[in-house]
Amino acid sequence: AHTFGRARCVNFRDHLNESNIDPAFAATLRPSCSNSSADDNNLANLDVSTPNAFDNAYYRNLLNRRGLLHSDQELFNGGAADAIVRTYSTSPTAFFTDFGNAMIKMGNISPLTGTSGQIRLNCRR
């Protein structure tokens, strides 16, 4: 969940001109994220409402078409995940419970180690 953290302009610039973003929100981001590559490393908060809190405001932002990244806004864009976004936006308890359970599940994953494992020097590939 992108309930806190930041993203570089180069990762959300194209989304600012898409139809599934609130035009007023996009307008607030454009001054620091122009089409110039000089702005590529400028940062914006993933959660514009409560950027330093672990809460469910991120999901309320999605309802208002204020997802910073294209992939974030796809969670609430007329698809199967819309119902989950609506639930999390109105129920912090549901979000916290599901998030906690997901972290436990991820913690129980047994990674490959030794010669069976793989160390990626570049995680983007």
* Domain ranges, residue 14: 6-107
Decide if 13 is inside a domain.
yes
Check the annotation: does 22 bind a ligand. no
What confidence score (pLDDT) does residue 121 get?
Answer: 84
pLDDT tens readout for residues 84-113: 999 999 999 999 999 999 999 999 998 888
Q: Count how many domains the chain has.
A: 1
The structure tokens listed for 122 are: 């570049």
Decide if 116 is inside a domain.
no
Contact yes or no for 11/70 (Cβ under 8 A): no
Distance CA 105, CA 80 (A): 22
Check the annotation: does 55 bind a ligand. yes
Q: What residue type is assigned to position 19 of the chain?
A: S
Confidence label for 117 from pLDDT (cuts 50, 70 and 90):
confident
**CATH number for position 34:** 1.10.420.10
Helix pair 92-107, 82-90: axis angle to 10 deg? 110
Decide if 70 is inside a domain.
yes
pLDDT tens readout for residues 28-56: 999 999 888 888 999 999 999 999 999 99
Confidence label for 58 from pLDDT (cuts 50, 70 and 90):
very high
Decide if 113 is inside a domain.
no
Check the annotation: does 2 bind a ligand. yes
| pLDDT > 80? residue 125 | no
Decide if 46 is inside a domain.
yes
- Residue by residue, DSSP assigns 5-31 as -EEEHHHHTGGGGSTTS-HHHHHHHGG
Check the annotation: does 15 bind a ligand. no
Give the predicted TM-score (pTM) of the model.
0.85
